[in-house]
Each structure stands twice: as structure tokens, then as C-alpha cells.
Amino acid sequence: MKLRLPFILFLAFLVLPNDQAQPYYTFINPFIGSAGEGNVFVGASCPFGMAKPGPDCDMSSNSGYSADTAVPLYGFSQVHVSGTGGGPKYGNIQIMPFGGTFQSIHQESLRCMEKAQAGYYGVNLCKWNIKAELTCSPSVAFYRFVFSEPGNEGIKIDLGTFLGEESIPDAREAQQFVGSEIEIVSGNEVRGYSRIRGGWNNGRAYTVHFTAVFSKEFSQCGTWNSEAIFPSVRIQTDKGKKTGAFFLFDDMKEDTILVKIGISFISALKARDNISREVPHWDFQKLLSETQNRWEELVNRLEVNPEASKKMKTMFYTALYHTMLMPTDRTGENPLWVTDEPYYDDFYAIWDTYRTSHPLLTLISPSRQADMIRALLDIYKYDGYMPDARSGNCNGRTQGGSNAEIMIADAFVKNMKGIDYGLALKAMLKDATVPPGGNEEKEGRGGLVDYNRLGYVSDNFVRAGNRTLEYAYDDFCLAQVAKGLGRNGEYHRFMQQAENWKNLWRPVEDHGSTGFIMPKNAAGQWIDSVQCDVLEGQRNMVRYTPLSQEWPNCVCWWCGFFYEGNSWEYSFFVPHDVPGLIQMSGGSEAFMKRLDTFFNNGYYNVGNEPSFLAPCLYHWIGRPDMSSKHIYEIVNMNSSNDRDGIPGNDDSGAMSSRLAFHMMGLFPNAGQPYYLITSPFFRQCTIHLENGKDFVILADRFSSKNTYIKSAKLNGIPFEQAWINHNTIVNGGKLVLEMDDKPSGWGSLIPLPGMQYE
């Protein structure tokens, strides 16, 4: 008998009602990517929500979370980012319930049980047996604390904690405390702020204001300043010290306390106003339902066939969810200027998200994508440059190119409305012509003086390899917009510059392939070796080869020739002119061999963005079957619905959006108006477009063995090309792919778009 219970449960699972009736948001599992390197945020958020309440278990974690349950929970802070690497950002205004008296400002507990859904996180705080649950509206966090011992209820709000503090106060990428203030304004209301600077983007100070209201009045309260506790004192003025407040409740009848924490980057009263506007009630479940609906409305734009496996649906809808956590919609919350334009922050980083996240959003919600681009242009207008990354209302940092240009070109070639492309061209030209100065990592194009004078970035600058490649790509994007606006002067100038990657193409041979992007000095001489200071006291020169990865051991993480990659990876990175790349590589056969070497030898890096397009490059040599083969292997080997199911930093959803496209069987090449077609992971996927039309991708004879496309029909007509235009999709219709268990010649004949410029 003992053995039968699991079996019954298993059967019960199988006879669950048809998934079709189940909302798509229920397949979202926020824990995917919370272990391993994913760094995702597991707390509650609305799509692109400003408030992101969630647990802080590891104050040096990027998301605040730790999957290791041996690590205690310190509290729940209201602002987070998701999936990022480098130094953490945010983790402000931390709330924590506790039992008993308040003897120390530190109150922590192990977690006994955790649950997370879209818009929801719940945990049991073992130490006091307190059940803590949270949900949120766009700018308000809503907590439900159920205490096991009525009359022994405590809550603290700590303004001195935040993620990524370091013992060296001015440490690079560390968040640094600037100030905080707290004021208990009534028997159930408290307000204040926390002001922090630094973090990954080394940004200027930002201030998170809050107002918190409790569902019942406290019986005692007090504040603290540094570590000194002041019972009954209701104000701690900002004197550059860490402050907080605690509240004790002695209501013996009721074991639940609800807390609403409105946040704002403007003021505590604005935070209070956000509560009044967004959550004018005390119904936790109602708010949770509203937030779930916000997610449902977005994720159900992509509808897969109901009988798809739960695992596949979980992976897919969680990927959509992760893609839409950031950037953050802060319209009305910009403390730097007033504008009628939307305001988005936490582009973190566009270098990650331009490739697949924004193209995915362009399919799901182009109006939202247009708003983001409008925000970028407003930032250019008032801050001087578009960001390549931005957080805490401050641009910074650029990893490679000024890739907001790619977002603009992508919108332009996909005919996105509502954007002032004239202004956009100015913003792009600013990037391309005006050096940003200082450490050249805040915005714009570092090494631009070199690039514009020599046609490449010399070894006088760090990251010269990927900067040169990315600037050439950016220039192509700029040229597309210039051409569309009839600005032929700029068009011709920047199309010529788009070939600048060839200036670093050195005809060296490595592992059977010839021609790699290699470092060159300002005098035009190739560089054969680079300095490696890893051995103390020795100036150690090492040969620079296409497999060299001199960072972070020889030089700092940001100081190599390529950012987070080597020449084998980056020498495939010419998204705007793959035909030109094939030619430089020695033609199709040589390119095929190069790609095979790349994948077979394990040079491909699944966990980082520069390789995103690489598996699809087979398309350009007439072998879309090989693209599909690799994509199937990559997804199956590296992605899952487990906690460690994201094979690298999710990077604001960049990894997740890549997965979503692969599962749909489409892949974008940002800045160009088409998608490459590969074997989908679902029998059917319907794109419910914002214009009201539907586009269906149906995989006939879909099975776990039939992973190759044999033939295709678009709206009933044979479709021989392995790529499809954005406009074709937007006009609605149906793409039927006939699947087979072996490769076919489908898609090999009609050439793919390359750089149309002579």
C-alpha cells in the first residue's frame, strides 16, 4: 500500500483537466534560473514593474536570492533586477517580520518552505513560524504576514541595507550608502527613503522613497540610527547614517498583518499616492489576481498547442516572463526631467537584450517596444547620449557598442510607429561622432577617436576587438535609418564604415580555419602577443591566438581584446554582413568547416550573448537543417524547467528570449526585417499580434524524432526560403512546416539577405 500513493498521484497528474483551460501564466516558474548562473529574481513583479519585492538571502547576490536554503533570509526589499552579472544594484527598503522583542536591528531566519508564481512569492520563516507572502502592483509591494503567535508580532523596515555593499567603500561596482531617512507619521504609516550610489554601472546616487501602511495600528514603535536603537523616537533625519524603524503589535485576536509599501523615485508622498491609485484596498488575493492578469495578457499573445508537455510550456512561458521583467517602466517616476514621453530605466544591458529580447517584444507588444525606444531618445535629449546600459537613473556601462542603435534600426526596418526617427538619427549620429570621454565606459563609443581615424579600434583601447565589430554593426544600423529618411550622405558614409570589421581581419590559420579578428596597433601593425601579469613580478608576454582569453587572468575582466569572449567566437560576429564574412572566411565550404569546428570543438559558448546568432549561420550556406540540429542540441542540453535551467546569467531575460525564439522556430537578426526559420519545439505556436491578426506556425508530423523541416507552405503556397519577413508575419497567416526525422534540402536554394551595398 505504501508504494501506491505516488502512483495514484502520478495518475492524478495525468488526468488533470485539459491544460487548454489553464491560463498561460500558471506555467511561469520564477525559480527557473534561480540556481546556477541564471541570477534571476524570484519575487513578485508586474511586467516591466518598478516594484520588485522579493527575498534577500545573499546580500552579494545580483537578485538578492540564494537557492541555498542553508542561507538565511534577511528581509524583503522592494527593488531588484533580474539575471544580471557584475556588481549588484538595488535591494532597497527592506522589510522583515519577526517574533518577540526588538533587541537587535538584525533579524534573520532560515526558510522552511518557498513558493513562487508570477506575481507571488511566499515563504515560511522557520525561526518564528511566520508565513510571509508578497505580491505587487506596478509600484506597490503588498505583504501578508501570518504570525503563529498573536500578540508577539514585530515588523522592521531597514533603510540601511542594500545589495552589493563592500568593505572597501569605494570599490568598483559596489553599491555605496549615501543616506537614509525615516519618519513614523501615524499609528500605521511610515515613510522615508534610502539613497545609494554605485553598483554595476557605477552610477550617480539614486533615491528610493517609500510609504508603508499597516493594516492595523502598532502598539509600540521606535527607530534606529547606525546600530543604536531609539525606542519611541519617530524620526531619524538623514545625516548620512543607516536608519530604520521597528513596530510591535500586541493584538491578541488577529494573527495577520498586511503591509503595503508604495515606492517612488520622486518622493514619499508620491509613493503614498501610488498606493492610493494602484492598491486602494486591503485584498491581497485581488491584487494578486490583477497582477496575474497583467502577465496573462502578455504571455498569451504567444499561444502554443495545449497538449504540449508541461515542461515545454513551463520553459516557454517562463522565458516570456523573464523577458518582460526589465527594463523597468518608470513613466512618471523620473526625478531628472519632466516630459510627456515614456520613461524606462534598468536597461541592463542593451548589449544583452537587443539581440532577442527586444525583437521578441516587438512581436508580443510593439507599442511597449516603441515606448522603450521613445524613452531612449528622451534620455538622449536630456542626458546627452542614449544608454547602452542604464540603472538608477544613470547611464553606464557600455560593454561594447552603442547598441541602442540596433534597437532603433530594428524598429525602423520593422515599420514601428510612434517614434521620431529624425531625432533617433541624431541620437545615433551623436554616438557615432562624439567621443564620450572620461573612462569611456558610461555611454557612447569608447575608442571612437581611433575608430573614426583608423577604421578600427587599436590596442590603445581595451575591448578593441568587439568594439570594432560592434561599431561596424552599429554603423550598418545607422545607415539603414539614414537611408530610409533619405539622408544619403550619412547612408553612404556609414555603409562604408560598416565594413570596418575587415580592418581587423587577419589571415592567420587556427585549427584548420583561416582569417580571424585580431588585435592591431595604431600604426597598423598586427599584434602577436599580449602582456599577461598573472605571475607576480614578471612581465609575461603570451602569444595571442584566436583561442586566447587573456581576461580576467592576464588583464581585468573589461580589459581584454574581446569582452567576454575570444576570437573564435567573435570572428563569427558580423550579423549585418554574413555573406561578406563567408567570403572573407574562404567561401561556403570553408565556412561550413569553420562552423563545424566551432561547435564540435566546444568553442561555442552557450552562456553568453555574442554567440546567440552563431547556430543559425548555417542558414547562409544553405544548411538550415544544421542550424536546427544545433539549436535542438543546445536547447536540450542547456535549458530546462529546473532551478539551474538557464545556462548563464539571464541578463534581464536575454537568455530567456533566445530560448523562446528557438522554441518557436524563429530567430531574429536585430536591425534586419526577417527571421530565420528553424525547427520549432511545439507542434503549433500562434502569435496573436497587437494589430488583431494571428500568425500560426504549425509543425505537421511534429514528434520528438521529427526534428527536421522537410518542406513548408505559407498560406497554402509552397515556401522554399528558410527565412520569413517581419511584414509577412505581421500581416497574419499560417506557416505550415512538414517535419521529418532526417535532414532535407529545404531552404537551401533561396539566398539569405546580406548587406545590400556595393
Q: Which stretch binds a second copy (CB under 8 A): 48-56, 79-87, 137-145, 380-388?
A: 380-388
CB of 104 to a second copy, least distance (A): 24
Q: Pick between residue 19 and residue 440 the one whose CB is nearest to a second copy.
A: 440
272 lines the binding site for a second copy (CB under 8 A): yes
444 lines the binding site for a second copy (CB under 8 A): yes
335 lines the binding site for a second copy (CB under 8 A): yes
311 lines the binding site for a second copy (CB under 8 A): no
Q: Give dist(CA 117, CA 292) in Å, integer.
A: 9
Report the candidate in 131, 33, 15 with the shortest Cα–Cα distance to residue 646. Answer: 33
Q: Pick between residue 448 and residue 712 the one whose CB is nearest to a second copy.
A: 448
The answer to whether 40 touches 33, Cβ cutoff 8 Å, is: yes
420 lines the binding site for a second copy (CB under 8 A): no
- What is the size of the binding site for a second copy (CB under 8 A)? 42
Give CA 301 to chain center in angstroms.
Answer: 20
CB of 267 to a second copy, least distance (A): 5
CB of 131 to a second copy, least distance (A): 34
CB of 95 to a second copy, least distance (A): 21
Query: What character string, x for contact with a second copy (CB under 8 A) and - otherwise, covers 500-519?
Result: --------------------
463 lines the binding site for a second copy (CB under 8 A): no
Q: Give dist(CA 479, CA 494) in Å, integer.
A: 5
Q: Give dist(CA 38, CA 647) in Å, integer.
A: 7
DSSP conformation letters of 374-404: HHHHHHHHHHSS--SSEETTEE---SSS-TH
426 lines the binding site for a second copy (CB under 8 A): no
131 lines the binding site for a second copy (CB under 8 A): no
438 lines the binding site for a second copy (CB under 8 A): yes
Q: What is the dihedral of CA 56, 60, 61, 64, to 10 degrees?
A: 20
Q: Which stretch binds a second copy (CB under 8 A): 283-291, 336-344, 559-567, 645-653?
A: 336-344
Sheet strands (E) in 344-485? 344-345, 390-391, 394-395
β-sheet with 130-136: strand ranges across = 111-117, 120-125, 130-136, 140-146, 256-264, 203-214, 189-198, 175-186, 235-236
Q: Which stretch binds a second copy (CB under 8 A): 193-201, 284-292, 366-374, 509-517?
A: 193-201
Site for a second copy in 199-218 (CB under 8 A): 204-205, 207
193 lines the binding site for a second copy (CB under 8 A): yes
Q: Give dist(CA 133, CA 143) in Å, integer.
A: 6
Q: Which stretch binds a second copy (CB under 8 A): 143-151, 192-200, 282-290, 720-728?
A: 192-200
Q: Give dist(CA 324, CA 365) in Å, integer.
A: 10
β-pair partners for 723: 676
Q: Which stretch binds a second copy (CB under 8 A): 97-105, 345-353, 377-385, 705-713?
A: 377-385
Q: Pick between residue 197 and residue 368 the one whose CB is nearest to a second copy.
A: 197
Q: Pick between residue 212 and residue 606 the one whose CB is nearest to a second copy.
A: 212
Q: Pick between residue 91 and residue 580 the one whose CB is nearest to a second copy.
A: 91
Query: What character string, x for contact with a second copy (CB under 8 A) and - otherwise, covers 672-701?
Result: ------------------------------
β-sheet with 684-688: strand ranges across = 302-304, 684-688, 694-700, 733-740, 708-714, 717-718
CB of 326 to a second copy, least distance (A): 24
645 lines the binding site for a second copy (CB under 8 A): no
Cell matching residue 347: 536597461
Query: What character string, x for contact with a second copy (CB under 8 A) and - otherwise, covers 36-75?
Result: ----------------------------------------
Tell me the CA distances in angstroms from 92 to 25, 153, 263, one per residue in order: 27, 23, 10
176 lines the binding site for a second copy (CB under 8 A): yes
280 lines the binding site for a second copy (CB under 8 A): no
Which distant-in-sequence residues (6+ apart) come within 8 Å of 261 by Cβ?
51, 53, 78, 93, 95, 140, 141, 142, 143, 210, 211, 212, 271
Report the candidate in 461, 422, 420, 467 with the shortest Cα–Cα distance to residue 444. Answer: 467
Q: Pick between residue 196 and residue 495 the one whose CB is nearest to a second copy.
A: 196
CB of 546 to a second copy, least distance (A): 32
170-177: long-range contacts, CB 8 A cutoff, minimum separation 24: 172/87, 172/202, 173/86, 173/87, 173/198, 173/199, 173/200, 173/202, 174/87, 174/198, 174/199, 175/87, 175/88, 175/89, 175/90, 175/91, 175/199, 177/242
Describe the chain by its helix, strand, coil percentages, rounded to 5.
Answer: 30, 25, 45
384 lines the binding site for a second copy (CB under 8 A): yes
The answer to whether 614 touches 678, Cβ cutoff 8 Å, is: no
338 lines the binding site for a second copy (CB under 8 A): yes
267 lines the binding site for a second copy (CB under 8 A): yes
385 lines the binding site for a second copy (CB under 8 A): yes
Contact with a second copy (CB under 8 A) among 240, 486, 537, 602: 240
Residues at the site binding a second copy, with contacts judged by CB under 8 A: 170, 176-179, 181, 183, 193, 195, 197, 204-205, 207, 235, 237-240, 266-267, 269-270, 272-273, 332, 335-338, 381-382, 384-385, 434-440, 444, 449
